[in-house]
Amino acid sequence: MKTTVEFEKYDFKQAIIRHLHSTLGTDENKANNHAWWKATCAAINEHVLEGLRKTQKKHYINDTRAVHYFSAEFLMGRLLSNNMQNFGVFDDVRDALKALGVELSDIMEEEPDMALGNGGLGRLAACYIDSLATLNFPAIGYGIHYENGLFRQEIRNGKQIERPDAWRDYGNPWEICRPESIQEISLYGYVETKYGENGRIQKEWHPGSIVKGLPWDIPVVGYEGGSVNVLRLWQSQSSDHFNWDVFNSGGYVDAQRENVQAETISKVLYPNDDTEAGKELRLIQQYFFCACSLKDIIRRYKRAHGDDWSRFTEQVVIQLNDTHPAIAIPELMRILVDRAELDWEKAWDICTHTFAYTNHTLLPEALEKWPARMIQKILPRHLEIIYEINHRFMQEVEAKWPGNNDIKAKLSIIEESSEKMVRMGNLSVIGSFAVNGVAELHSKLVKENLFPEFNELYPGRLMNVTNGITPRRWLKTCNPALSELVSDKIGKDWPLYLDKLQGLAKYAEQKIFQKQFMQIKHKNKVALAKEIQALTGIKLDTNAIFDIQIKRLHEYKRQHLNLLHIMALYRRLLENPDYDMHPRVFIFAAKAAPGYKLAKDIILAINKVAETINSDPRVNKKLKVVFMPNYRVSQAEKLIPAADVSEQISTAGKEASGTGNMKLALNGAVTIGTLDGANVEIAEEVGDENIFIFGLTIDDVSTLWDKGYNPYDIYDKNKEVKAVLDWLETDYFTPGEPGALLSIKHSLLEGGDPYLVLADFESYSSAQKEVDLAYRDKQKWAKMAILNTAKVGKFTSDRSIKDYVDRIWKLEPCITGHD
Ligand code: 26Q
CATH number assigned to the domain comprising residue 633? 3.40.50.2000
Long-range contacts of 677-681 (CB under 8 A, 24+ apart): 677/438, 677/439, 677/441, 677/442, 677/648, 677/650, 678/438, 678/439, 678/466, 678/467, 678/795, 679/648, 679/655, 680/439, 680/440, 680/441, 681/439, 681/440, 681/466, 681/794, 681/795
Higher pLDDT, 815 or 596: 596
Mind listing the pLDDT tens digit for each residue in 259-311?
Answer: 788 999 999 999 999 888 879 999 999 999 999 999 999 999 999 999 999 99
Indicate if 551 belongs to the active site: yes
User: pLDDT band for position 246 (50/70/90)?
Assistant: low
User: Burial level of 543, CB count in 10 A (0-12/13-18/19+)?
Assistant: exposed
Ligand 1, residue 656: give the atom nearest the CA: 26
**Which residue lies with its CA nearest to atom 9 of ligand 1?**
273
Pocket residue to mutate for ligand 1, from 361, 421, 661, most atoms within 8 A of Cβ: 361
Amino acid at 462: L
- At residue 225, the pLDDT reads 76
581-631 tens-digit pLDDT: 999 999 999 999 999 999 999 999 999 999 999 999 999 999 999 999 999
Calculate how far, in angstroms, residue 473's C-alpha sits from the geometric centre of ligand 1: 21
Residues 741 and 787 in one domain: yes
Q: Residue 659 belongs to what domain range?
A: 524-795
Which amino acid residue places its CA nearest to atom 13 of ligand 1? 273
Q: Of the listed 47, 152, 557, 565, which one is catalytic?
A: 557
Task: Output the pLDDT for position 357.
Answer: 98
pLDDT exceeds 50 at position 253: yes
Annotation says 608 is catalytic = no
My answer on whether 306 and 331 are in the same domain is: yes
Helix, strand or coil for residue 547? strand
| 357/809 Cα distance (integer angstroms) | 11
Mean pLDDT for the chain overall: 96
Within-domain flag for 761:
yes
pLDDT surpassing 70 at residue 328? yes
Q: In the prediction, which pLDDT does 2 show?
A: 46
Once rounded to an integer, what is the mean pLDDT over residues 63-68? 96
- Do the Cβ atoms of 788 and 665 come closer than 8 Å? yes
Average pLDDT over residues 67-91: 97
**93 and 184 belong to one structural domain:** no
Instruction: Quote the CA–CA distance of 75 and 231 in Å, as a whole number.
Output: 12
Q: Is the pLDDT of residue 397 over 80?
A: yes
pLDDT exceeds cutoff 60 at 818: no
> Distance between CA atoms of 819 and 814, rounded to whole angstroms?
13
Whether the pTM exceeds 0.75: the reply is yes
C-alpha distance from residue 284 to each of 212, 264, 326, 359 (Å): 13, 10, 12, 21
Q: What pLDDT, on the 0 to 100 scale, is given for residue 4?
A: 62
Amino acid at 555: E
461 is catalytic: no
pLDDT of the residue at 244:
47
Q: Of 361, 466, 612, 659, which is the active-site residue?
A: 659
Distance CA 126, CA 79 (A): 11
Burial class of residue 409 (count of CB atoms within 10 Å of its CB; 0-12, 13-18, 19+):
exposed
Residue 819 lies in a domain: no
**Domain tally for the chain?**
3
Report pLDDT for 250: 64
Residues 546 and 634 in one domain: yes
Other CB atoms within 10 A of residue 582 CB? 14
At residue 53, the pLDDT reads 97
Report how far ligand 1's centroid is from the alpha carbon of 561 (Å): 22
The C-alpha atoms of residue 24 and residue 255 are separated, in whole angstroms, by: 36
Give, using CA atoms, the residue closest to atom 25 of ligand 1: 658
Say what percent of the chain tops pLDDT 70. Answer: 97
Of 663, 745, 791, 799, the active-site residue reads 663
In a domain, 486, yes or no: no
Q: Among 123, 552, 600, 799, which one carries the catalytic annotation?
A: 552
**Residue 678 CA: which ligand 1 atom is closest?**
24
Q: Which amino acid, residue 564?
A: L
* 97 and 130 together in one domain: no
- pLDDT confidence of 116, banded at 50, 70, 90? very high
227 with 376, same domain: the answer is yes
Count CA atoms within 13 Å of residue 742 on its CB side: 8
Q: What pLDDT, on a 0 to 100 scale, did the predictor assign at position 749?
A: 98
Choose the catalytic residue: 300, 360, 591, 632.
Answer: 360
Residue nearest to atom 17 of ligand 1 (CA): 121
How many other β-carbons are positioned within 10 Å of the β-carbon of residue 495?
24
Q: Give the whole-angstrom CA distance, residue 276 versus residue 280.
A: 10
Q: Is 441 inside a domain boundary? A: yes
Instruction: State mean pLDDT over 373-382.
Output: 98
For residue 711, CA distances in Å to 606, 698, 704, 708 come to 22, 18, 11, 10
Q: Which of 146, 274, 358, 797 to mutate to test the pocket of ligand 1 (most atoms within 8 A of CB)?
A: 274
At residue 525, what is the residue type? K
Ligand 1 atom index nearest CA of 123: 21
Same domain, 160 and 41: no
Q: Whose CA is nearest to atom 12 of ligand 1?
A: 273
Same domain, 101 and 241: no
What is the rounded average pLDDT of the residues 426-454? 98
- Does residue 513 form part of some domain? no
Q: Active-site residue 802, yes or no? A: no
Q: Per-residue pLDDT for 817 more than 70?
A: no
pLDDT of the residue at 8:
73
* Sign of the C-alpha dihedral computed for residues 73, 365, 657 and 664 taken in this order: positive
Write the DSSP symbol of residue 335: I
Average pLDDT over residues 453-479: 98
Name the residue with the closest Cα to ligand 1, atom 1: 275
* Residues 83 and 193 occupy one common structural domain: no
Which residue among 53, 87, 112 closes a domain? Answer: 112
Q: Report the alpha-carbon distance of residue 46 to residue 231 in Å, rounded.
A: 18
Q: How confident is the model at residue 800 (pLDDT cuts 50, 70, 90)?
A: very high
pLDDT of residue 1: 44
Cite the beta strand spans of 196-333 per DSSP E. 201-206, 209-221, 228-238, 316-321
Which residues have any ligand 1 atom within 6 Å of their CB?
Answer: 118-121, 124, 270, 272-276, 282, 324, 360-361, 368, 438, 467, 655-659, 677
Shared domain check, 92 and 118: no
**Residue 219 domain-assigned (yes or no):** yes
- Annotated active-site residue 659? The verdict is yes
212 annotated active-site = no
Q: Which residue has the higher pLDDT, 244 or 227?
A: 227
Calpha distance 200→133 (Å, rounded): 45
Rounded distance, CA 106 to CA 95, Å?
Answer: 14
- Count other Cβ atoms within 10 Å, centred on residue 819: 8
CA–CA separation, 265 vs 210, rounded Å?
12
Whether 51 maps to a domain, the answer reads: yes
Nearest to 217 by CA among 49, 415, 347: 49
Domain assignment present for residue 815? The answer is no
Q: Which residues of 438-464 are buried (b: 16+ CB within 10 A; e: fewer)?
A: bbbbbbebbbeebbebbbebbeebbbb
Same-domain pairing of 539 and 449: no
Q: Are residues 97 and 137 in the same domain?
A: no
